[in-house]
Structure 1
Amino acid sequence: MRKRISELDSLRGLAALTVLFGHILNTFPPLPKVLLYSPFRIFWAGHEAVILFFMLSGFVLTLPFLKTEKVNYGLYLVKRILRIYIPYVIAIFVSLSIMKVFKRGTQADIRWIQNFWQKEFSFSDLINHLLLISDFNTDAVDPVIWSLVHEMRISIIFPFVVLLVLKSRWYQSLLLAILLSTTGALISFSGLDVSQGYLTSYAHTIHYTAFFIVGSLLAINKEFIVEIFNKFSLKIQLLILVSGICIYSLQTGLGYFLRIETGLFFREWFIVVGAGLLIVVSISAKWASVFLSKKPIKFLGEISYSLYLYHLPILIATLYALHDFIPQPIIYIISLPVIFGVSTLSFKIVEKSSIRYGQALSKKWNKKKANTTKGIKGTVNH
């Protein structure tokens, strides 16, 4: 089981890298449509990567529920907060410091980037960022954190969702996911949404809960999926991989032809199908395991969360600071080592500490539980 999680971590790392590439490309003139609406999009598919993150979270968070009938909710929540919140808060304060130093009221004409860091960061902005689960403007400091708002909200309720999924048949859980997604879309476009129009809309959280459920279903049926997949020939396995890449990437082209307001909600289900196939290949194929176990790919998996948190503030800062002095491509050559260096330090110093503390809490709770059980048995025997 641990081996498979390692492979999914590598998949998450590759997805985080596409977010970075996607944000770099956002600062350039739009790509030709022949590239924009092609499977090559997988190399810079940032939004698709976020949907994949949601599914991977659903997958990984379900695994402990498959090992035991009872999961301590308080311990689960503390570990989840330690895993997400502590690195996040430190990244926010680091990003605030970077913003204060480098924005300096710049008017640099840089496509897409020039929309950020143009407003003063207020005390209410700070409170919203520290709360994380409220509806607020996540573009103020580190624009990528909108997904963490949904991640944290869903994480809080996820144990109850998993219990429901475990008690239901797979098609009932899938219908629940579709119902949640549809409900989120209807609320969002019916005028009933109480959110302020930010990416942290509560209606979107309802919608994204569906993707956690799909990830959970993949985890629950993991052994069956692996068994079936490995009965296929190598050609069929490769065809599944190619199909996953195409479906995952081509939803943007589909969106070009879908001129309806709910298009994004609909298109994201194509991402889910494609991402699901990529997850299936990652957990099943031996040749995929060999690739995902290579050191550079595993390294990406290790630093993926920090890479996601820090890449955009550093990218914005270097562009603002150097745009008037050196060519833009050279700025990326300078910023990339900084991004990976800071991400590595964050992983080793902050993330590892949070993970170790969470593991220590788990061991302490399990030991306490074992001693209590032993005491009860001893009393009965006496």
Structure 2
Amino acid sequence: MTNFHLFPFIVLLVKKLNTIYVLILCAALSLIAGLAGILSTITVNGYHTSLFDSLHYISIFMIGALVAKNKTVLSTLYQRFTKMQKISFLIMAVLLYSYSDVLSKDFFHIIPFRFYVSEYGLSLGSVLLIIMALASRKISGLLNLPLLIFLGKISYSLYLTHMLVILSLLHLLHDRISMPLLLTLSGLVSILTAIICWYFVELPSMKLGKYLTKSRKNSVPSLEVRQEA
């Protein structure tokens, strides 16, 4: 199941439903995924890549849509915090984002469905960081630096290609150069590959999409005129 194909439906669903109902639905989807993992015999070699796991990942996308839906309210709440509260907010965000997986694996063995619990912890950390980025002028100003904006533009291409680049270079060069140099080279080549993909794949695709959409919009009035005539 490709979650990207479901984005429009996820957005519409989150837009229509009350926030509490969306959160309940998210929990239900993750619970179904967890129970299916226990009861089914699907072999995934230790990776959470089954069709049932996609239900859990859909819940994460729904949480992201909730943040977008309520961004003004969340930003306003953050701006009302005291300086000490904002520092605590930052510490909590970093801890949740960085250590949710570690805590679930090394300390909380008795928690049922701990993988999904750790995913929600990581998601909450991400949400807190996003709220800070939206509400804080200093952080917003930092994120608006030209270099960071450009990295944001190529981030989707980087997401799609980085693993292929890293694994290819590891396979070709792991016995020939030192690991620090190999990792550095992998990062640089990954960024270069993402830039190439952005210029020659993403940009042309976006221009084509705008052209097709524009052409369709322009054709609608002419059809209406013909019908009236």
TM-score (norm 2): 0.85
One-letter amino acid matched to 2:72: E
Higher RCO (CA 8 Å, separation ≥ 6 residues)? 1
- The residue correspondences of 1:1-382 to structure 2 (distance < 5 A) are 133=1, 153-191=2-40, 195-197=42-44, 199-255=48-104, 256-260=106-110, 262-369=113-220, 371=221, 375=225
Which shows bigger deviation, 317-326 or 300-309?
317-326
Cα gap change, 1:168/1:254 in structure 2, threshold over 3 Å: closer, same or farther? Answer: same
Say which SS state the counterpart of residue 258 (structure 1) adopts. Answer: coil
**Displaced runs of 4+ in structure 1, greater than 6 A?**
none
CA distance in 2: counterparts of 1:372 and 1:231, whole angstroms: 52
One-letter amino acid matched to 1:253: V
The answer to whether the 8 Å contact 2:101/2:122 transfers is: no
Count of residues in correspondence between the two structures: 225
Cα gap change, 1:154/1:335 in structure 2, threshold over 3 Å: closer, same or farther? Answer: closer
CA distance in 2: counterparts of 1:271 and 1:249, whole angstroms: 7
Say which SS state the counterpart of residue 64 (structure 2) adopts. Answer: helix
Which shows bigger deviation, 334-343 or 216-225?
334-343
One-letter amino acid matched to 2:193: V
CA distance in 1: counterparts of 2:223 and 2:68, whole angstroms: 30
Say which SS state the counterpart of residue 160 (structure 1) adopts. Answer: helix
Cα gap change, 1:270/1:336 in structure 2, threshold over 3 Å: closer, same or farther? Answer: closer
Cα gap change, 1:340/1:210 in structure 2, threshold over 3 Å: closer, same or farther? Answer: same
The answer to whether the 8 Å contact 1:319/1:328 transfers is: no
Shift of 1:234: 4.0
CA distance in 2: counterparts of 1:290 and 1:331, whole angstroms: 33
Q: Deviations over 1:247-287 (max 9, x none)?
A: 11121232111225621012111112111111111122111
RMSD: 2.6
Question: By percentage of residues, which structure has more helix?
Answer: 2
Shift of 1:372: 6.9
Shift of 1:342: 1.6
CA distance in 2: counterparts of 1:373 and 1:239, whole angstroms: 59
Shift of 1:207: 0.8
Percent of aligned positions that are identical = 28
Q: Deviations over 1:340-360 (max 9, x none)?
A: 222211111111111222222
Gaps of 5+ in 2: none
